[in-house]
Amino acid sequence: MQILVVEDEVSLADAIVAILKKEQYFADAVYDGKDGLDYALSGIYDLILLDIMLPKMNGIEVLKELRKQGISTPVMLLTAKSEVDDKIRGLDTGADDYLTKPFNKGELLARIRALTRRKGEIPANEMTYGDITLNQSTYELICGANSVKLGGKEFKIMQMLMYAPKNIISKDEFIEKIWGYDSEAEYNNIEVYVSFLRKKLTAIKSTVQIKASRGIGYYIEG
Ligand code: CA
């Protein structure tokens, strides 16, 4: 994780770099907007902390130029309390977050974690476990280049299993959540759907297995 700090207040810039290094991030500091832009354009950074009031080129101009050149690295603006307008302009220009100075170490690190996590995040409509991904909008179960579409009940069973992997889900729980309390569904309904799912897992060459816990229910492992 490589972070660029662009801040003309040298003691602050260096203090931030020291904090980041202590947390095992790689960090570089530059002290004016022009250097900031040059470094940021290298594309090697995972996050840029960008002051707004900077010599040579201000932070908003740097940000504008970066976005114009197709650099989508997350940018967190460092703003003084008096720079509310700039902050809004910055967010409009494509900043991902801002931090008002003075800030404390904990706040800085928490925001950095949130921003860098967001970057590699799995879309909310997908669940993953082992080598499989379940797309919750298309009901597709994917393993590498292979995929298979699940029926409605198969999908719900898979979703419950993947939501709490290694937890045994009882046949009663499946029936309640999928067929409803008052349904006439029998345990062997579940068994039939689980056998369909097992065939589909084999078909997409997944190593994930649906295991039966004798008499109680099912769980996945892989
Ligand atoms: Ca400044």
221, 165 in Cβ contact below 8 A? yes
* 128 Cα–ligand 1 center, Å: 43
Query: 179 pLDDT band (50/70/90 cuts)?
Result: confident
Query: 186 pLDDT band (50/70/90 cuts)?
Result: confident
Can you give the pLDDT at residue 62?
Answer: 96
Query: 118 pLDDT band (50/70/90 cuts)?
Result: low
* 53 Cα–ligand 1 center, Å: 4
C-alpha dihedral, 72 to 74 to 79 to 85, nearest 10°: 50
* 209 Cα–ligand 1 center, Å: 56
* 32 Cα–ligand 1 center, Å: 9
* 9 Cα–ligand 1 center, Å: 6
* 173 Cα–ligand 1 center, Å: 58
Digit-coded pLDDT (tens) for 26-81: 999 999 999 999 999 887 888 999 999 999 999 999 999 999 888 888 999 998 87
* 72 Cα–ligand 1 center, Å: 23
pTM of structure: 0.55
Does 183 have pLDDT greater than 80? no
Can you give the pLDDT at residue 85?
Answer: 78
